[in-house]
Amino acid sequence: MANVHGRFTRFRGGIHIAERMEDSRVEVVIDASSINTGNNTRDAHLRSADFLDVDNFPEIHFISNRFTWRSGPKWTIQGPLTMHGVSRSVTLDTTYLGAVNGGYEQELRCAALATAELHREDYTLNWRNMLARGIAVVGPTVKLELDIQAMYRNHATPTPPE
């Protein structure tokens, strides 16, 4: 009946910008247990076997395999998202927001906004089973909104995600 907003508070990742943007890549690893919706009871349920099952699947992992320019600052980033032991291809509709030189220690920072919609059943999250038990808590989809800010580090050799 209402949208519930949450966020993951522990994650690590990296962005490699190639000479040709199409050859760039993104990798993110999320600690699934760090889900926070502002309600401890709901968060505990989201961590349970009904949803994320963090005891058996502690991480959510995305690695891009394709960057495609659409127009202006708009890009599509595709790659497998592994969650709940299942990998599915995901398309992130991405808008590059720009870069600034400055801030802390005068590093170069860039920002992007990406969105996607996931279908719960694609990841074996059986929301219909909960509805059958009389728990009217979720719908069939989850909307992802990723508000990303990254710092540029110049390395002679690529470094793994932190």
Domain contains 123: yes
**Which residues, in sequence order, are CB contacts of 22 under 8 Å at separation 6+?**
66, 67, 68, 69
The answer to the question of residue 11 being in a domain is yes
Q: Is residue 53 part of a domain?
A: yes
What is the total count of domains within the chain?
1
Write the CATH number for 86: 2.40.128.110
Whole-angstrom distance, CA of residue 117 vs CA of residue 52:
17
Q: How large a percentage of the chain has pLDDT more than 70?
A: 80
Q: Has residue 87 been placed in a domain? A: yes
Asked, for residue 102, whether it belongs to a domain, the answer is: no
Choice between 88 and 152, residue whose per-residue pLDDT is larger: 88
Q: Is 161 part of a structural domain of the chain? A: no
- In a domain, residue 160? The reply is no
How do residues 88-133 score in pLDDT, each as one tens digit? 999 999 999 988 886 666 677 888 999 999 887 777 665 555 556 6
Contact partners, residue 138, CB within 8 Å, separation at least 6: 120, 127, 130
Q: How confident is the model at residue 137 (pLDDT cuts 50, 70, 90)?
A: low
Range with the lowest mean pLDDT among 23-27, 52-56, 119-123, 158-162? 158-162
Residue 2 lies in a domain: no
- What is the span of the domain harbouring residue 23? 7-97+110-151
